[in-house]
Structure 1
Amino acid sequence: MSTDHDHATAGHPVVDAVFTEVARIAPEVRESLLGRRTYEEGENPSGEQQLEADVYADELFEEALLALDGVGSYASEEREGLVEADDTSDDDYHCALDPLDGSSNVKPNNVMGTIVAVYDEPLPAGGDALVAAGFVLYGPLTTMVATCDGQVSEYTVVDGERRVSDTDLSLPDDPVVYGFGGRVPEWTDDFAGYVGLVEDELKLRYGGAMIGDVSQVLTYGGIFGYPMLRHHQQGKLRLLFEGLPVAAIIEAAGGRSSDGERSLLEKTPAELHERTPVFVGNEEYVERLELALE
């Protein structure tokens, strides 16, 4: 790993070890995609079909992270319940992962990623227990973004090691892009009205992998969201595995998050796979969104 000591997870040994392991495994996850592009027979707890790649990545991360001293449990979007380490203590951290966000992009060979959240309370836990969060992006390069103690760092991942490229990542002041999920006929009238205004101001960027779209917002500024829908008021994304970690990254980078009413970091899931509307981006656009949805 880089010898730099001023990046986000430095100074937090267990957290740093988690992200070191995630970086170490990332090349194997990426290489494994080639032979694992078919669907399994089962579904994940959210009712989505699982690719072989989803299951493989989940098993890799579970084994590696639970082997770390100070990690007491592991949860993922791909499994129903918690897996606890053999030896646990009250001081342990708890990891929640989306092992392969955007795995439907495997077949068309589009961008995808891994989302990581580290909590200091047993899961499910809320934003007040979120210690660190980050993601790996499998694009033309493999990169990682991580936040801890209000700092956001970006890395390139080369041969399983992190190389620091930016220790003070922040959203640009002049937003450029937007992207929103869900079928347009399922959008509420208030939300559709808001989108009508935004599309006159920003460029559409939507790739089908949430973490890829969030990376666009981090790079260019703007807003990403997966809204409440007419027949699914809670939207699609999972609070524990996606909403909270992405909110932590964007807010630490100078932006805002919201479920349409309040910061996602103010929420605590009642169950592991609880869903929530998710909006993240520059403060101006998130504030306007909340006003539109009042």
Structure 2
Amino acid sequence: MATKDFNTADSATAIQTIDRVVDVIAATAPEIRAGLPGRRIKAEETNPSGETQMAADVFADDLLCKRLGGLDGVGEYASEERPEAIDVGTGDLSVAVDPLDGSSNLKPNNTVGTIFAVYDAPLPARGTDLVAAGYVLYGPIMTMIVARGGTVSEYVITDESNYELVRDDITLPDEGTVYGFGGRVPDWTDDFTQFARDVEKDPSRKLRYGGSMIGDVNQILTYGGIFSYPALESAPEGKLRVQFETYPIGYILETAGGSSSNGEKSLLAVAKDDLHARSPLHIGNSDLVAELEAALA
């Protein structure tokens, strides 16, 4: 995937802003994680997508809005938990976040994460406006994946002021070995059901699905394979939000040498005008994503 040229005249300043965004995400993640106990309860509100918020969703969003919104160079902040993007400064870059992806996993104490995307355009933006994206995985080890400057890197976050590079220039393994498919099986379309059954027949592949999109994506980035949250009979646009999930995840996977698709074309080529618009998502090794697109054609 080609690195996008910055719209702003001062690309050096934009790069510095991206670096500061990554620093803030890394510094805030330990505080988010430390604040999860006691917030595994439902909040009184729903988010703009109609989902019941967890107290942890609101907590993480408030922290990130305050920290990211205070950065020079960031002009807008948006999250899954807010109905609209908010003006936070006069900068050229916009930051969109899913503050706590998979928050329904808090009750059984399964994997959750934070997704962030940096756009060189006002929100809602296009996938082609992305200049950086990444996520934090609150697993047994707290790690952060960052795609910027044409490469994907992995860091271990040790505390509020330190994160250490552990893998650089990450690319998907040539032979993908895992798969995971979201959504209720009876709600899958017939074409997708047939594709999933064909994937399952390959004895070299293992099912890995945990119900937290970030955890499932990290499996693909580590082992290769395919992950899908497809169009459903009851939800033709799927479940995942374009600005906060499908664009940044597509950007990361394509930067790592894989492919992304909404079932027809790259996720980065999907055009949506609503801040909370949704899209099916398919990411992984290019050969498997091509097979998926052929199956759905």
- TM-score band by shorter chain is over 0.9
Matches of 2:110 and 2:232, distance apart in 1: 25
Whether the 8 Å contact between 1:124 and 1:240 is mirrored in structure 2 is yes
- Normalising to structure 2: TM-score of the pair? 0.93
**What's the counterpart of residue 88 of structure 1?**
90
Matches of 1:150 and 1:223, distance apart in 2: 22
Matches of 1:112 and 1:235, distance apart in 2: 20
Cα displacement string for residues 133-166 of structure 1 (whole angstroms, at most 9, x for unaligned residues): 0000000000000001220011000112221111
3-state SS of the aligned residue for 1:27?
helix
**What's the counterpart of residue 5 of structure 1?**
none
Does 2:73 align with 1:70? yes
The Cα shift of 1:268 comes to 2.7
Matches of 1:198 and 1:247, distance apart in 2: 21
Matches of 1:229 and 1:177, distance apart in 2: 22
Which is worse superposed, 198-207 or 63-72? 198-207
Cα displacement string for residues 42-96 of structure 1 (whole angstroms, at most 9, x for unaligned residues): 11011111000000000000000010000001000011011111x415xx10000
Decide whether aligned partners of structure 1 residues 285 and 122 sit closer, same or farther in structure 2, where only a CA change above 3 A counts.
same
**What's the counterpart of residue 295 of structure 2?**
292
Which amino acid in the other structure matches residue 81 of structure 1? E
- Root mean square deviation, CA, Å: 1.3
The aligned runs of 1:1-294 (5 Å cut-off) are 12-85=15-88, 87-89=89-91, 92-160=92-160, 161-201=162-202, 202-294=205-297
Runs of 5+ unmatched residues, structure 1 = 1-8
3-state SS of the aligned residue for 2:201?
coil
Which amino acid in the other structure matches residue 223 of structure 1? I
Cα displacement string for residues 10-65 of structure 1 (whole angstroms, at most 9, x for unaligned residues): 99210000010000000010011101011012110111110000000000000000
Matches of 2:178 and 2:86, distance apart in 1: 38
Decide whether aligned partners of structure 1 residues 221 and 45 sit closer, same or farther in structure 2, where only a CA change above 3 A counts.
same
Q: What percent of counterpart residues are identical? A: 54
Which amino acid in the other structure matches residue 63 of structure 1? K
Cα displacement string for residues 174-199 of structure 1 (whole angstroms, at most 9, x for unaligned residues): 11110011100100000000000101
Which amino acid in the other structure matches residue 268 of structure 1? A
Instruction: Point out 4+ residue stretches in structure 1 off by more than 2 angstroms.
Output: none
Equivalent pairs counted in the alignment come to 283
Which amino acid in the other structure matches residue 291 of structure 1? A
Runs of 5+ unmatched residues, structure 2 = 1-11
Which amino acid in the other structure matches residue 196 of structure 1? R
